[in-house]
Amino acid sequence: MVKKIFIIFYRLTVHKIPVGMFIKILMEENVRSYRYDCVVIGGGASGMMAAVTAAQKGAKTALIDKMEQKQP
């Protein structure tokens, strides 16, 4: 199994970043800043609903979820 971080931005743009790379990016000094009105951590039923509702109301929203992706 490969652990991934799934970051879903409003308007359904999806970025998949490996967990180790995500941490490395956060530790770098030259990190670009990202601005969101709402950041939801956890993509379960409640997290997904919160992110979708915020985006529908016009908030720039990021949903961050750590999942395990099975290899075929």
Position 19 scores a pLDDT of 60
How far is the C-alpha of 39 from the C-alpha of 47, rounded, in Å? 10
Position 62 scores a pLDDT of 76
pLDDT along the chain (72 residues), means of 10: 49 51 66 73 81 82 67 46
Q: What single DSSP character describes residue 30? A: T
| Contact between 13 and 61 (Cβ < 8 Å) | no
